[in-house]
Amino acid sequence: MATICFSGCAYYLKSIFEGLTVTVHISKMTGKLVHMPAINTNTLTNEFCIRQHQTDTICFECYSFDMLQGHRKNCAPAFERNSVALSELIDYDDLPFLNYAYVRINGHGELINENHLDNIIAIAVKNPQCTFALWTKRVSLIRNRLDLIPDNLILVFSNPKVDRVIGVPRGFHKVFNNVSKGSTRPQNCTGRKCIECLACYRKDSGTDVIVEMVK
C-alpha cells in the first residue's frame, strides 16, 4: 500500500491544555493517495496500533509502522503533534476551514480516543463543502457516536483480517478488505489513484465493499 507522505500545509489550533498553540498538519500524500490531503496521526505512539501490530492481522505488516520507522521517519514529529492536539477536545471556533473537495482521515494512524473522533466529527460539521473519509478498526468508538455523524463523513471499516472479505458492518458506510498476494478472489482496488477512483469517498459510488491485495 504505497502511501508515502510528508508534512504539507498546516493550520494553527489553540490547544486547551497548557495554553499552547498546536500545529495540526494536513499532509500531502503520494503513491495512490497523491493529490488526496489527509489528517494523519502517529501510528508509533498509538496504543491500539501498538497492540494490533503484535497480532496476526493486517496490522502485523503495517505500512505505516515500516515507513515511520524507516524512510519516512521525518513525518513522525508532525504526526505526533497531530496526535497530541486531536486527542484533546478542540474548541469549535479554533477548528480549521478546509479548501478541499475530499480529505482522508487516517492515511497514517488510527483513532486515539473519543476526543479524537469528536474533533473529526466537528471538523466535518464545520466544513460541509468537503467530504471526509475516515478509515478505522475501532468499531466501539464509532457506534458510540452514530447519532452525531454528519452526512459528509464517510465511515470506512478497515477489516483487520486478511482473506476474510466481509460486508459493511452496522454503523459504517463502507468496508476495506485485504487479500493475500496471489489471491484469485476478485479485487476492485487495484492500483488506481484514489482521487481518480473515489469509490471510498462517495456514498453513491456503487462500491461499498472494497477488496485490495496486500502489497
pLDDT, tens digit, 9 for 90 and up, residues 72-85:
787 778 888 999 99
Given this model, what pLDDT does residue 76 score? 76
pLDDT at 148: 97
Cβ atoms of residues 88 and 117 within 8 Å: no
* The pairing of beta strand 10-14 with beta strand 174-179: unpaired
For cell 513522525, what's the residue?
76
Residue 15's pLDDT is 42
What is the number of domains present in the chain?
A: 1
Burial class (CB in 10 A: 0-12, 13-18, 19+), 74: exposed
- Domain interval for residue 56: 5-213
Supply 181's cell numbers.
498476494
The pLDDT of residue 213 is 95
Predicted local confidence at residue 12, as pLDDT: 45
Mark the ranges of the chain whose per-residue pLDDT is less than 70.
Answer: 1-24, 62, 64-66, 68-70
Question: Does the pTM exceed 0.85?
Answer: yes
- How far is Cα 134 from Cα 107, in angstroms, rounded to an integer? 9
| C-alpha dihedral (192, 98, 65, 180), degrees to nearest 10 | -30
CA distance 85 to 105: 15
Single-letter amino acid code for the residue at 46: N
Give the chain as a DSSP string: ----EE---EEEEE-SSTT-EEEEE-BEE-GGGTT--EE---GGG-HHHHHHTTSSSGGGG-HHHHHHTTTTGGGHHHHHHHHHHHTS---GGGSPP---SEEEE-SS----SHHHHHHHHHHHHH-TTSEEEEEES-HHHHHTSGGG--TTEEEEEEEEEET----PPTT-SEEEEEE-TT--S--SBSS--HHHH-TTT-TTSS--EEEEE--
pLDDT for the residue numbered 66:
63
Q: What is the pLDDT of residues 89-112, one digit of tens each?
A: 998 888 888 999 999 999 888 999
